[in-house]
Amino acid sequence: MAVPDYQSFMLPLLKILGDQKEHSLKEIMEKLASEFNLSKEEQKELLPSGRQSKFVNRVGWARTYLKKAGLLKNVSRGIFIITERGLDVLKSNPPAIDVKYLEQFPEFIEFRNATKNENGDSKDKTMSVVYSTNGTPEEILESSYQTLRQELANELLERIKKCSPAFFEKLVVDLLVAMGYGGSRSDAGRAIGKSGDEGIDGIINEDKLGLDVVYIQAKRWENTVGRPVVQAFAGSLEGQRARKGVLITTSTFSQEAKDYVKVIEKKIVLIDGERLAQLMIDHDIGVSEQARYIVKRIDIDYFGDEEI
């Protein structure tokens, strides 16, 4: 099954603590994984950022909200116990515990109001949205980021398709140099587009020392690029006794083309329009920074043995 949303973990988590014993977060997660029949693979499924698992993130926020509502508390670092209020909640046998349920507790309301300014407007739109969705703050933030990034990639690709062949050639050079290929910008500019060999648009150094070279074909295709085009490029590499090549298109590659490069001796990397746009974003080619949001967390090492 898919990893449940963070609100679905609230009541089961509180029931685990219902024995009034101290439990570690690790122990709680093991019990929850067992209760929800989550496989190891499902427990390891990552957030879009790839920095934390969905399971750990969602259980962590379920615990945080229960703590803010006064239903559980820390007794030492990473160790929790249920409170009297938490026991009263369990005695009332609620069918579920979610954000709406927690709104009956003044401490939780205070926690929510801490994100509002003096005019009553939310300081943090992410925290405002999270109360009406099943996503944790990190998930909402990352989902919004991915949406903005995809929109930017789409806009980039549309502009690339409209640019001149000369500009597209410059764009490819700028990107490859930003990725660490080609040595200096001037060296790369002289290398690409100078070969004149059929099927090869340019040659660029693989490293700054020029110990090896990469042959390039970059075309603003509209239709899907099939195996014949890739096979012809491989043949051009053979004619140059070259071992490596990069084939770049503004469109897509057929599955046959992708399968072909997996079985040939030559190392050919296929970069379609989507990947091209994503690489441009990663290496700041054709884009500029508009805003930066840094997410911070408690530095446990700083606090040493202090209880949190």
pLDDT of res. 55: 94
Other CB atoms within 10 Å distance of the CB of residue 123? 10
Got the DSSP string for 194-218? ----TT--EEEESSTT-SSEEEEEE
Beta bridge partners, 205, equal 213
Question: Element (H or E) spanning 306, and its range?
Answer: none
Q: Is 9 exposed, middle or buried (0-12, 13-18, 19+ CB in 10 A)?
A: buried
- State the pLDDT at residue 186: 63
- Cβ atoms of 3 and 42 closer than 8 Å: yes
Query: Is there a contact between 214 and 246 (Cβ–Cβ < 8 Å)?
Result: yes
Q: What is the reported pLDDT for 197? A: 42
Most confident of the following: 52-56, 94-98, 264-268: 94-98
What kind and span of H or E run contains 82? strand 79-82
Q: In the structure, what pLDDT confidence band is assigned to residue 193 with cuts at 50, 70 and 90? A: very low
For residue 189, what pLDDT is reported? Answer: 55
- Predicted TM-score (pTM) of the model is 0.66
Instruction: Report the share of the chain in percent with pLDDT over 90.
Output: 48
Mean pLDDT of 128-152: 75
pLDDT for the residue numbered 114: 67
What per-residue confidence (pLDDT) applies to 119? 46
Whether residue 254 is predicted with pLDDT greater than 90 in this model: the reply is yes
Evaluated on CA atoms 102, 108, 109, 115, the torsion sign reads: negative
Q: Please report the pLDDT score of residue 4 as a whole number.
A: 93
Query: Are the C-beta atoms of 157 and 287 separated by less than 8 Å?
Result: no
Over 50: is that where the pLDDT of 14 sits? yes
Which pLDDT band holds residue 140 (cuts at 50, 70, 90)? confident
Rounded to the nearest 10 degrees, the angle between the axes of helix 165-178 and helix 273-282 is 50
Share of the chain above pLDDT 70, in %: 83
- The predicted pLDDT at position 195 comes to 45
Q: Which two tokens stand for residue 265?
A: 């001796």
